[in-house]
Structure 1
Amino acid sequence: MRRLRRLRGGCPRRGPLPVVLRGQGDREPDPVDAARQPSATGRHPPARGRHGVIDAPLLSLLIPAVGGQGGGVLLEWIVDAAIADGYPVHGTSIPGVAQRTGSTTYYVELCTERGASTDELPPIFSLYPVPGALDVLLAPEFLEVGRSIELGFPSPARTTIIASTHRLYSIHEKIATGRGIYPIERLDAAARAFARKLIAFDALALAREHGTEANAVLLGALAGSGALPIAVEAYRTAIRAKAVQVDANLRGFEAGLAVALAAGAAAGGEGSPAAAAPAGQALSDTDIEAMTAAFPQSLRPVLRQGVLRLIDYQNRAYAERYLERLRPFAGDVELGQIVARHLAVWMSYEDAVRVAEFKTRMSRFERIRKEKGVRDGEIIVTDFLKPDLDEIYGVLPYRLVAWFARWAERRWPHGRPSLGQHVKTTTVSGYLRVWLLTLLRPLRPISYRAHEEHARIDRWLAAVARCRAWDGLLACEVARAAQLVKGYGDVRRRMTGHFDRLLEAATKAGEHAMANGGDFTAARSLAARYRALVLQGPESEATAAALAADA
């Protein structure tokens, strides 16, 4: 144990100790790497045989999955396939917390020697994976790869990683006020760094294409990877033996098998497709080029997305208003890109009319049918809606409801009453109830909500222009403040309050800097720090408010 004492006396290793304790009579263990290759072979005599111990190599497989992903069925398929092919195997599961706050891990160990003789004892399998000693990581969702890497299970010298690149966002990603989604690029880089072989593709999209589930597709990818010695036909036998959705699961299996055999799967996320312009208002590429011709080439990709988004939201005249507002900032590439992006998002704020359009589009029901695998027959879609007073009267003309809005703000200063309702949009009455709201779209430009939103947009653009005259970097920080304007109901009122405070504090700090020598470092830091604190979540908002008060 001299190596153990030396390690204990030094710095902590922060990982599993890479040693294997040999049999009785050995003076010290031989160090090994993650691929089970002794680095000091031949230094000691071979271990003496021990009763009841076999030296047949074992392969280990880990499936980290969350509820509803079919991890248990996937485990059973693998175990049944191994048994059908004559391999001793054992599978177990370790339950985790439901949904995305934790995962259930399914673990398989397989002996690579078929049909041991009757005078030999069966192999003794472990119930838990060993960090750094994993042969296959089979992940039904890409974040689970990162979770397993964090726990130290995969090894770049040993582990084959097979993963679906689609994302089911975790609780921490969903509750973040700012952008809390873990970058797919970092997950991909980590997977490549910790895999001996990586097979990563969107198994969920492939499953939907073939009318099946992602676990069947991943089983096919496992079979095609060659990571386990199980014959391909044994996997098919296991699927048939379960006698559940056999045809659909076999289709998914064959699709995953083809991907793995082609070895052309690549990790990566897919961005959201750009919204298409509604019928009758679609623009050709020539039209968009003509509308954006006066802007620098570096801005045009962003402008194209903004124009399409706003035509889908309202009409071409509304998109031209967007370009006109952006024109004063086009000369500064960095500032222009920031303003272009946030302005397009802000001008397409989601009012009750927009929500109704999303809820009643035929493409939505087609997508639901495809996701649920319902090709024929009736589906029932229930939308849970809870509009508050601001959202209800916000779609009505400003002149008609302005007085009521002022009274409501005095009457309920800390939150408006809401109207909860469950609407079945797959029924005639439910669909019409929501669809009728879309008829208010022509009134949107004169609505109370439009009046309030565009007044705040104009104040923001004026502040950006003013700060630009002082300092370009300060103008960029003030432009990024638009990121705070988000949410619905009480959340949006709270966030717009923070936006107003940031705008006021940043411009005051800029005025002070301009009057005292022109050093805008403090003003830039204030704007960036305030925005970062608010985006961290409600627990940091008090700190942000105190920061603005001290400015």
Structure 2
Amino acid sequence: MRRLRRLRRGRPRGGALSVVLRGHGDREPDPVDVAREPRAAGRHPPARGRHGVTDARLLSLLIPAVGGQGGGVLLEWIVDAAIADGYPVHGTSIPGVAQRTGSTTYYVELSTERGASADDPPPIFSLYPVPGALDVLLAPEFLEVGRSIELGFPSAACTTIIASTHRLFSIHEKIATGRGIYPIERLDAAARAFARKLIAFDALALAREHGTEANAVLLGALAGSGALPITADAYRHAIRAKNVQVDANLRGFEAGLAVATRAADATGAGEGSRGFGTTPLAAGPSPAAGGQALSSPDIERMIGGFPEGLRPVLRHGVARLIDYQDRAYAERYLGRLRPFVDEGDPELGRIVARHLAVWMSYEDAVRVAELKTRMSRFERIRKEKGASDGEIVVTDFLKPDLDEIYGVLPYRLVAWFARWAERRWPYGRPALGQHVKTTTVSGYLRVWLLTLLRPLRPISYRAHEEHARIDRWLAAIARCHAWDGVLACEVARAAQLVKGYGDVRRRMTGHFDRLLEAATKAGARAAENGGDFAAARELAARYRALVLQGPESEAKAAALAADA
């Protein structure tokens, strides 16, 4: 240590030394900033061999996944394939906290030097990836690419990103009051910016098409990418050696291999330097549309008198409401919408058409029972779980509260009870939690019998309350439109706040009522004072934005309305 402190003109240095000592054979240290550069020939004598250190290049691969995505099996396939091809390899995993709150990371390091003799020291592998030095990022879900970029692992200089573009929404996306889904366009842009080569496609859809799982498809894409020196036959050998769903996994492997091969061919032909790009997830049929065709002649006749630009929205809305109740109910929707279309404001008509259709198809207990007992639901579950031949067991976790139970009964029968319940439980109603196996005869009948109350829906207590609030909303829009078109659009967008079940819906409708009252009062004051509606517009937009941010901002919204 005394010798190290007398490096410069015999005077000791108090700070750290910016040098790297290369070994016993080096007479002088190299500065850190040039330690990675090749030394000129003859500058120093060659360093002596160091025990336990190898100069062979190591390739790193990271798999960020959550429970149920097969990340562990994918790791084992890669490690087994590398061993079968003779490459020294090491794999490890770090479990996450829970699903979607912290992904489990699977990490592989592979030495590119194989066939080493027994006298050569084994490579020393790391247990963790190095940020900015990752060779392959293999993501079973697209948001995991964003997580890895946030942690700094991929780099545009060296990382091949292979990812499935399908989305499994995170907890934070699901609990958001407003639209909390992370824009896939931003994920795509980030993936392209941080990838030397990008192969992104919907592995889940491809897996379902071939009756397999997405991890097998991604393994094939890894083999076809050429990012690792492992041969395709070694991967196939690893799948067979695992001896679990061999035929299905091989089908998925070949499908992924074909996708990556096409991506490589496209890149080689000059069609893009970043690989295959993303394949958007095909939109499936809306469950609310049921069996009602969106382009049936009957629907076209019903919406024939409306502007052409509004008809795509109306097709969905009318089909949704016919499936929800009947044709007369859909005609009521069009009748409510007509005055706003006749005003000649296309933007207002579009906003009202969309939100009115959603609101009029509110999900009461009857609607929930219909959706849970449809045969198409069980067929979809069978297809997703690959249980086309076997028996499935579906357990529905239901927790209707008192309002939802008596809400399906006639208004005149239960109105007095509803008023009493409001006084008795002003801050929350009792709920009846139950687990119903809808694949059993008794469980199915228990839920299906609720659907028989559908003819009573127009006279139910819930319908009375919902449609009374809808009428107040439409009247407020019409009143505001007489003053200012932009203010009317903001009041129309307030219908976004009416959502949820039970206590959540009661809280959100309370916010809706306050917004409606505050916006109309502000608009009336502006009309009396000369017609400057900027403050009223800002109030309506700001209140809605605060509520949609989540429960933590609702107090600010209430204070904003109180000060208006």
Give the structure-1-normalised TM-score: 0.90
- Once the two structures are TM-superposed, the CA of residue 236 in structure 1 deviates from its matched residue by 0.8
Matched residues in 2 for 1:422 and 1:366: separation? Answer: 21
Q: Deviations over 1:30-53 (max 9, x none)?
A: 579xxx9x6x99799589435234
Equivalent residue number for residue 487 of structure 1: 500
Give the structure-2-normalised TM-score: 0.88
Equivalent residue number for residue 227 of structure 2: 227
- Once the two structures are TM-superposed, the CA of residue 262 in structure 1 deviates from its matched residue by 2.2
Q: Deviations over 1:375-434 (max 9, x none)?
A: 222211111111112111111122222222222222222222222222111111111111
Equivalent residue number for residue 327 of structure 1: 338
Cα separation, partners in 2 of 1:285 and 1:196, compared to 1, 3 Å: farther
Match of 1:443 among 456, 466, 478: 456
Q: Is the 8 A contact 1:88 1:115 kept in 2?
A: no
Q: Is the 8 A contact 2:21 2:30 kept in 1?
A: no
Equivalent residue number for residue 58 of structure 1: 58
Match of 1:287 among 277, 280, 298: 298
- Structure 1 window deviating more from structure 2 (216-225 vs 253-262): it is 253-262
Q: Deviations over 1:215-237 (max 9, x none)?
A: 11111111111111100000011
Within 5 Å, which residues of 2 pair with 1:104-503? 104-263=104-263, 266-275=278-287, 282=293, 284-330=295-341, 331-503=344-516
Equivalent residue number for residue 3 of structure 1: none
Matched residues in 2 for 1:47 and 1:521: separation? Answer: 79
- Once the two structures are TM-superposed, the CA of residue 77 in structure 1 deviates from its matched residue by 0.8
Equivalent residue number for residue 101 of structure 1: 101
Cα separation, partners in 2 of 1:547 and 1:46, compared to 1, 3 Å: farther
Q: Is the 8 A contact 2:294 2:316 kept in 1?
A: no
Matched residues in 1 for 2:239 and 2:219: separation? Answer: 10
Matched residues in 2 for 1:244 and 1:475: separation? Answer: 60
Q: Is the 8 A contact 1:30 1:41 kept in 2?
A: no
- Structure 1 window deviating more from structure 2 (491-500 vs 308-317): it is 308-317
Unaligned runs of 5+ in 2: 1-17, 264-275
Q: Is the 8 A contact 2:490 2:537 kept in 1?
A: yes
RMSD (CA atoms): 2.4
- Structure 1 window deviating more from structure 2 (448-457 vs 196-205): it is 196-205
Equivalent residue number for residue 14 of structure 1: none
Determine which structure has more spread, i.e. the larger CA radius of gyration: 2
- Once the two structures are TM-superposed, the CA of residue 29 in structure 1 deviates from its matched residue by 4.2
Q: Is the 8 A contact 1:188 1:267 kept in 2?
A: no
Name the aligned partner's letter for residue 154 of structure 2: P
- Once the two structures are TM-superposed, the CA of residue 162 in structure 1 deviates from its matched residue by 0.7
Within 5 Å, which residues of 2 pair with 1:45-84? 48-52=46-50, 53-84=53-84
Cα separation, partners in 2 of 1:278 and 1:83, compared to 1, 3 Å: closer
- 3-state SS of 1:60 partner: strand
Structure 1 vs Structure 2: percent identity of aligned residues?
Answer: 84
- Once the two structures are TM-superposed, the CA of residue 291 in structure 1 deviates from its matched residue by 2.4
Cα separation, partners in 2 of 1:328 and 1:377, compared to 1, 3 Å: same
- Structure 1 window deviating more from structure 2 (464-473 vs 479-488): it is 464-473
Name the aligned partner's letter for residue 315 of structure 2: R
Matched residues in 2 for 1:415 and 1:87: separation? Answer: 63
Cα separation, partners in 2 of 1:153 and 1:433, compared to 1, 3 Å: same
Equivalent residue number for residue 546 of structure 1: 559
Q: Is the 8 A contact 1:188 1:268 kept in 2?
A: no
- Structure 1 window deviating more from structure 2 (202-211 vs 175-184): it is 202-211
Match of 1:28 among 31, 46, 49: 31
- Once the two structures are TM-superposed, the CA of residue 484 in structure 1 deviates from its matched residue by 0.5
Matched residues in 2 for 1:234 and 1:226: separation? Answer: 13
Unaligned runs of 5+ in 1: 1-18
- Once the two structures are TM-superposed, the CA of residue 273 in structure 1 deviates from its matched residue by 2.5
